[in-house]
Amino acid sequence: MTDLNQPEPDGAMLLDQLLDALNRFVILPSQEATWSVALWIAATHAQPAWAHAPRLVIKAPEKRCGKSRLLDVVEATCHAPVITVNASPAAVYRSVTGDPPTLLVDEADTIFGAKDGNEDLRGLLNAGHQRNRPALRYDANSGTVESIPTFAMAALAGIGSMPDTIEDRAVVVRMRRRLPGESVAPFRNRRDRKPLRRLAAALNEWLRANLADLEAAEPPMPVEDRAADTWEPLVAVADLAGGHWPDRARAAVVALTEAAQDNGAPSTRIRLLTDCRTAFGRDTALPTGVLLDRLKSDPEAPWIDHGPTGLTAMKLAVLLREYDIKSGNVRFPDGSQSKGYQRADFADAWARYCPEDERPADVEAAVLPFDPRGGRPSRPSRPVAGQPWDGSDRGTAQAVPPPTRGTA
């Protein structure tokens, strides 16, 4: 590991030393992930400058992937670490001050997997991403409402994914087990923590001397919206350090953001929107029963086991209502009517939440309401209501199979 006793190194050299420490004790999945962790650690020393407190999510599919070892190095090099394993929510809340510590949570999957007992801590971790989101508590003894700060950077390590509300605000690192030929130095707390704390002190001195510049910084970002909020402190630190770090930071932003998008599981509602688009095919309207049958025809989809009785018409309506999609009485080409959904009502939600990379050539015609008077090209029909859809096109001439009159 690089000598940590060099006199007054500049910011880039300090980040290089931090990178050396990470590579000495941990094998991360990519160099971009290692750069990201180094910048996240450095950013903890300048928390008073940030408008957002990015989370660091360290997750793995199984045990013995290096999560806890990485958390050891983070704890030794970050600003004012507070370990929250087995800590009461009240104690954690009282630890967050105007100049916040860095919250570290090992085995975070046990917190978010619990059905009760951790709501206060979950609330702190969700609210603390943005400044000026205090928790309010009523003090019965004094008869007053107390405002408790929540803003603090936090690192969470655990098996499996964290809730979307956490990962959407986080730098996400997916750890893996080492291959037989990969090796790292053993981490010994008595021996290794002291020089790492000296490095932490040097990082703190450098960044605290530049808080005004960091607070005013508006670095050009390769991402937008919440991702930009999350990554901006890390890029600001890299720009302040200079050298190769600005390029490294932006390369890390792009790589880890793309990885999160590729590997992140969509929410239940987003999955439903996507599956509804597949179920509609080119049809302009579907009876509710037909839509449900098609959704449940995919054995890998969650809709058969969605709740005790699977996805029902009422549950479907509740899920879609959040996107202002409602069922109604639909008249079909044979003159019958039944409760169902119009494809056009989904168009706005599809465009906003799950846009397709490529639109089919006839998509504009596909989203128009069905005109029973003709003027539309003939198209394959879908299976009849009550039969599972295998994704194939059979038959011709009508957009929707005639439903049984009055069915839903």
pLDDT score, position 75: 97
Res 62 pLDDT > 60: yes
Residues of the chain with pLDDT > 70: what percent? Answer: 80
Exposure string over 206-229, b if 16+ CB within 10 A, otherwise e? bbeebeeebeebebebebeeebbb
Res 162 pLDDT > 90: no
- What is the C-alpha to C-alpha distance for residues 373 and 115, in angstroms, rounded to an integer? 55
- What is the C-alpha to C-alpha distance for residues 67 and 108, in angstroms, rounded to an integer? 11
CB contact at 8 A, 389 and 298: no
pLDDT score, position 9: 58
The token pair that represents 199 in the structure block = 């490095």
Q: Give the DSSP H/E element, type plus range, for residue 331.
A: strand 328-331
CA 196 to chain centre: 30
Task: Read off the pLDDT of residues 97-118 as tens digits, 9 standing for 90 and up.
Answer: 889 999 998 888 777 655 555 6
Tell me the residue type at 94.
Answer: R
Q: Is 50 helix (H, G, I), strand (E, B) or coil?
A: coil
pTM of the model: 0.69
Task: Read off the pLDDT of residues 306-327 as tens digits, 9 standing for 90 and up.
Answer: 766 689 999 999 999 988 999 9
Of 56, 22, 31, give the one whose Cα is nearest residue 260: 56
CB contact at 8 A, 280 and 346: yes
- What is the C-alpha to C-alpha distance for residues 234 and 191, in angstroms, rounded to an integer? 29
pLDDT score, position 227: 93
Say how many residues make up the chain: 408
Parallel, antiparallel or unpaired: strands 337-342 and 285-287: antiparallel
CB contact at 8 A, 327 and 319: no
Interval 223-237 mean pLDDT? 95
- What is the C-alpha to C-alpha distance for residues 313 and 296, in angstroms, rounded to an integer? 12
Query: What is the residue whose two structure tokens read 């846009």?
Result: 355
Mean pLDDT value across the chain: 82
Helices assigned H by DSSP within 55-188: 67-77, 89-95, 108-113, 119-127, 164-167
Res 399 pLDDT > 90: no
